[in-house]
Chains A and B, each alone.
Chain A
Amino acid sequence: MRIASGGVTDVGRVRSNNEDCFKIVEPLHLFVLSDGMGGEAHGEIASAMAVETVVKHCLDFEANPAAKVVGAVEPKWSARTKRLSTAVHLANRNIFKSAEANDEQRGMGATLTAVWIDDARLSVAHVGDSRAYLLRGGGLLQLTRDHSLVAEQVRRGILTAAEAEESDMQSVLLRALGAQAEIEVDAEEHTLFPRDVLLLCSDGLTRVVTEPEIAGTLQAETDPMRAAEKLVALANERGGPDNITVVIVRLDKDSKGWFSWLRGATRKNSGSNGTGGN
């Protein structure tokens, strides 16, 4: 599958520092996003540490395929999903240890949402209230569950979705990296199809931009980088109350079929006539 991606992070309009962090590892088709928390500059340290640990552990995959699996995994998962889940457990340990060792870092933590694509196989690992979405056939579907108090209350029927949006408890997380020595990591696998679009984002986007708006932007703007810029701009227009990070991954068919071969041939011909090019 052909993959195009783009990502943007922005401090927003209210905060003075950006505690979000993301990394796109193109050759690996690995996309990692983290939203840090903690006083002073410690949220930044936590999110950077989370992203770095995950990326490093996944990069090591080819060189060291027999690396130990950490945390609970399901036997049916692919080696990649196991590795990604392990990487998130390791990131948690690193942040937790660092916070234990440095008094001023106490209480720091981070969310983490990562997707790893192997042709048509998608691995997702997630902790916290950042999100991964899939746009397919015009419909936007949240792949991850927010580990926040209000989301849990909505799932249990205690709050309605509308009440959750009004709640002043929106920033209370039930799970985050660095909060405990060991945590639970959500991981799952899906099959991807041509024209699927994946979106990773921090809550700075979803607090102020609605899902229909996100779906509309992803459909209208097919360049991942420009779409990410548009979504960040929209969040800032709405006041940019928090840091905003958006990573977009578009999948497409490899141009191998007879149809694209025919199209390629046509393009070549028109090119030689001096009328082609786009």
Chain B
Amino acid sequence: MPKLSLMFENKIVKEVSVGTRPVTIGRSPDNDLPVDNLAVSNHHAKVYFEAGRMVVEDLDSLNGTFVNDLRVERATLHDGDNIHIGKHKIKVDASGDAPVPWDSGRKAAAPRIDETMVLDTKERRQMLQQAAAMGESMQFAGTRLKVPTLVVLSGKTDQKEYVLANKLTVIGKSAMATVRLQGWFKPQMAAQINQRDDGYYLGSGDKVPSINGKPITGPVRLSDGDLVEISGVRLNFVFRE
């Protein structure tokens, strides 16, 4: 698979493969390729495949994205190209095979299906294996061993720490709540944390919780280190290794 190598002073700092999902580059740690330099914008650029070609796109960065010393907004990348972002260089290795979303050819060939149908075992196994090869290793590699945990920072609860082992977690006074609040006038169900396919979401119950000091307006996906406040209790959401 094609890859990008982040270089600083001719040393490889980090390497990432470019798959079917875009690789994001920027100063913020949530990027696939974080570049810790003040000249780099939080979300600076992204690299992705489009119609079989690798493309770099500048995300309106302050100091610009350069390919082989030319400032670009969007450019096709070739093997051996150098992307310059701030003082860092990213080497492009496009020698591997481009990831072709395996449904693209199929889409055109398959007739439109109005009637519901079930794939037979063999077909299904093949499709899933292809899909697994494409996406799974990248998607889950980083999250496999992390255990979502709530650590109680202040306030009265029945435990000091809770591992979110279930899909549905309730914070409240109720005897059935996972995180049991103690004390008078606490709501039975103050708030909830629910696991969805892409993470853990904090939602309201009888009360509106806040994340990092801001009250939520709808379900919000929790990030590692978020501070959750609800009914006089402060909780730290962390992914434990």
A212 nearest CB across to chain B (Å): 9
- A153:B188 contact, CB within 8 angstroms: no
In the complex with contacts A134-B168, A168-B107, A193-B189, A179-B174 CB distance below 8 A: no
Interface check A271, CB cutoff 8 A? no
Q: A179-B120, A194-B188 are in contact. Are A171 and B136 (CB under 8 A)?
A: no
Contact A171 B176, beta carbon cutoff 8 Å: no
The reply to whether B218 and A139 contact each other, CB–CB distance below 8 Å, is: yes
CB distance from A135 to the nearest CB of B (A): 11
State whether A158 and B131 are in contact (beta carbons under 8 Å apart), knowing that A139-B204, A176-B118, A191-B176 are contacts in the complex: yes
B203: contacting residue among A35, A139, A152, A188, CB under 8 A: A139
CB of A180 closer than 8 Å to a CB of B:
yes
User: 1/0 per position for B3-30, CB-CB distance to A under 8 A?
Assistant: 0000000000000000011000000000
A139 touches B194 (CB 8 A): yes
A12 at the interface (CB under 8 A from B): no
* B116 CB–A CB distance under 8 Å: yes
Do B115 and A171 touch (CB < 8 A)? yes
- Are the C-beta atoms of A137 and B191 separated by less than 8 Å? yes
Q: What size tier do the contact residues of chain B reach? A: 35 or more
**Least CB distance, A117 to chain B, in whole angstroms:** 14
Q: Does B147 belong to the interface (CB within 8 Å)?
A: no
Partner of B192, one of A129, A136, A149: A136
Check: A265 CB closer than 8 A to any chain B CB. Answer: no
A109→B203 contact, CB < 8 A: no
- Does B114 count as interface, using CB distance less than 8 angstroms? yes
CA distance A171 to B119 in the complex (A): 10
Chain A residues with CB below 8 A from B128, complex form: 152, 174
Q: Which residue of A lies closest to B202 (CB)?
A: A139
Q: Specify which chain B residues have a CB less than 8 angstroms from the CB of A193 in the assembled complex.
A: 170, 174, 176, 188-189
What are 14 A-B interface contacts by the 8 Å CB criterion?
A109-B118, A137-B204, A141-B194, A149-B127, A154-B197, A158-B20, A171-B116, A171-B117, A173-B119, A174-B118, A174-B119, A174-B124, A175-B118, A193-B188
Which A residues have a C-beta under 8 Å from some C-beta of B?
Answer: 35, 37, 109, 120, 129, 134, 136-139, 141-143, 145, 149, 152-159, 167-176, 179-180, 188, 190-191, 193-194
Known: A173-B117, A193-B174. 11 other contacts (CB 8 A): A35-B116, A109-B118, A136-B203, A137-B191, A138-B203, A156-B134, A157-B135, A158-B103, A171-B117, A174-B119, A176-B116
B contact set with A: CB distance below 8 Å: 20-21, 101-103, 107, 110, 112-121, 124, 127-128, 131-132, 134-136, 138-139, 166-168, 170, 174, 176, 188-189, 191-192, 194, 196-197, 201, 203-206, 218-219
